Amino acid sequence: MHPTSLTDSTFPYEIKDFNFGRILDENPNFHSVIVLGTLPVPSSLQSSETSSSKEASGPSESVAVARLPAILRIERTAFPPSFTDGLSSGVVASTRLIEHTDIYSWMHGWLERKEDLPDVKINVIFPATEVHIRKYTKQELLMVTETPELYDGVVKPYIEAFPASRTQWVRDVVDGKSEAERILCRTSDFLILPDMKWDPSGPISSLYLLALACGPSIRSLRDLRGGKRGHVGMLEEIRETAYEIVAERWGLGRGNLRMYVHYQPSYYHFHVHIVHASQAGMMGMTVGQAHLLDDIISMLKLSPTVLSELTFTYGLGAQHGLYGGMAAAQAELDVSWKGTR
């Protein structure tokens, strides 16, 4: 998902107005590219957006009045179930032979334009902040070890320093101010809706839902607790509700789902990722970042405070806001470990 204050009916810009700046990242395996550029500020938003831009960048940024940074993530769409039926009715409009040997042939193909068969899916972040740009820029990963002491000394202050505006888009979803028509289920503790990264026109194996906690008190899995007044009941209800939704809507069984929580998360408002078990290779499933919901529930039942006491090891990108503090702390840990050998 990504923040937006605009509805489809007031969509204020066109992709053709995008001015390319540079490539932030590209992934041939996932047929995607992320680019940074600018889009013109809509006249309806110009006064508020440009004034906030001046506050952030200084009064000399006169160009920012007309255009603001934008990030486009462009990816090839998956083939829908109807694609194979169209192979015999001209869905492949033309081909060009690359090579042929014995029984094997390679060729490029061009698809016929069809409204139900888009070529690409485009995600837009506009206006994009420096935080967004750092997040989507290709970067080296450093494996760091976060002890409870490092959480208290480095990570927790970092989280607490985040302004409420950074997760305002989440509050808008929870409060029903945006994406209300997309919500699949709502309770007093959480809601479930399709993640913006999911293209529902693709195969069901690409299913991607998101459960958002209604309250802001749980910022990450470090805040989860067991016991009578803890969060196990809510987590179990998220799990069971997700099973019910996918069974009723898509005929999927319990074994067809994978549910997990990120640490570090992309934003510090508790959420659970709900994806089809057949999805493979997604960056969000990386060992160290993704923690299975079943495992979290099991650990909290064994020890109510275990997640605040564990040492977590995970990859941290060089552009992440925690990188400097955690890299320095990691270097100190490395020195102390070498000294004990």
Is residue 260 part of an annotated ligand binding site? no
CA torsion, ordered 186, 191, 192, 197, to nearest 10 deg: 140
Is residue 108 part of an annotated ligand binding site? no
Q: Which of 132, 231, 271, 276 is catalytic?
A: 271
Is residue 266 part of an annotated ligand binding site? yes
Residue 288 backbone zone (phi > 0: left; psi -120 to 50: alpha; other: beta): left
Is residue 106 part of an annotated ligand binding site? no
Is residue 132 part of an annotated ligand binding site? no
Is residue 306 part of an annotated ligand binding site? no
Euclidean distance between CA atoms 60 and 238, whole angstroms? 49
Is residue 265 part of an annotated ligand binding site? yes
Is residue 271 part of an annotated ligand binding site? yes
What's at 122, amino acid-wise?
A: I
Is residue 100 part of an annotated ligand binding site? no
**What are the beta bridge partners of residue 261?**
291
Closest CA to 93 of 62, 119, 70, 72: 119
Is residue 263 part of an annotated ligand binding site? yes
Is residue 31 part of an annotated ligand binding site? no
Q: Which residues lie closer than 8 Å to 269 by C-beta, 6 or more apart? A: 167, 170, 212, 213, 216, 218, 219
Written as six digits, the tokens of 152 are 């208290």
What's at 261, amino acid-wise?
A: V
Closest CA to 300 of 217, 229, 245: 229
2 flagged as catalytic: no
The binding site for substrate consists of: 169, 179, 195, 197, 262-273
By annotation, the residues acting in catalysis are 271
Binding residues: 169, 179, 195, 197, 262-273
